[in-house]
Amino acid sequence: MNIFRRKYLLSIVIPVIIITSVLLLISHYYPLSLLSINKQYKHTPESMTVAQYETKLNDLKRSYEKSETNDLAIIRMQQGLLDVYHQDFLISGDSVIFTDKKFHSIKSDVIKTRQMLMDLTFSENYDESTKNYLQLLVESLIKMESYIQKVELTDSYSKGELEQVLNKLQVHFYTSLKYFNSFYASYTNS
């Protein structure tokens, strides 16, 4: 009787241990997968990238502060468009935890910014170079939105792949910020 009881317990305990081990391994190597226990990934941005981005963002803020105007387009830019560029993984050297909600929040900010820019597109008359910068900016936001959506839909990224994805996302934001800076400079100088 004791042997049967032991075999019965082993037949239950061993599969539980195996399944738990597999889930822990999946959670470790594929942190955002469907089978992951804790669907989050801790990302530490590269300090050099953060410093460059922060410098560019601060330059843009300073140029905003210098321009005292009643121009509706500039007021809109100052009130809402810069918000998308204040993502914590872009301006903080500290580790940031990414979840599905975090990606969705970033995508929502990008969509909101793109919509505001589209409103500005039809509410203002721009010279040719400003139009070109605005077009580049909107296109960069559309690419970023599409990229984030792809990340949201793909849940099989390994840790290494997620690191590459987030570094690439930082580059998208940096590029978009440069376009925004060029657009703003061209708009205020025209």
Can you list the positions of beta strands (E) in the chain? 41-43, 96-98
Cβ 183 vs Cβ 73: under 8 Å: no
Position with higher pLDDT, 61 vs 178:
178
Cβ 141 vs Cβ 149: under 8 Å: no
Q: For position 132, what pLDDT does the model report?
A: 93
Phi and psi angles of residue 127, each rounded to the nearest 5 degrees, phi first: -75, 175
Tokens 């099989």 map to which residue? 156
Tokens of 17: 């241990």
pTM for the whole structure: 0.85
Q: Is the dihedral of CA 54, 63, 74, 128 positive or negative?
A: negative
Cα torsion for 172, 139, 179, 122, to the nearest 10°?
A: -140
| Spatial distance between the Cα atoms of 50 and 10, rounded to a whole number of angstroms | 52
From 145, 165, 175, 190, select the one nearest 52 (Cα to Cα): 175
Q: For position 173, what pLDDT does the model report?
A: 94
pLDDT tens-digit map of 57-75:
888 888 777 766 656 666 7
Q: For position 72, what pLDDT does the model report?
A: 64
pLDDT tens-digit map of 107-158:
999 999 999 888 888 877 889 999 999 999 999 999 999 999 999 888 889 9
Model confidence at 185, pLDDT cuts 50, 70, 90, reads: confident
Q: For position 1, what pLDDT does the model report?
A: 54
| Spatial distance between the Cα atoms of 181 and 179, rounded to a whole number of angstroms | 5
CA angle 102, 114, 83 (to 5 degrees): 55
CA distance between the termini of the chain:
92
Interior/surface letters 155-180, b for 16+ CB within 10 angstroms, e for the rest: eebeeeebeebbeebbebbbebbbbb
pLDDT tens-digit map of 3-37:
778 888 888 889 999 999 998 888 888 998 888 88
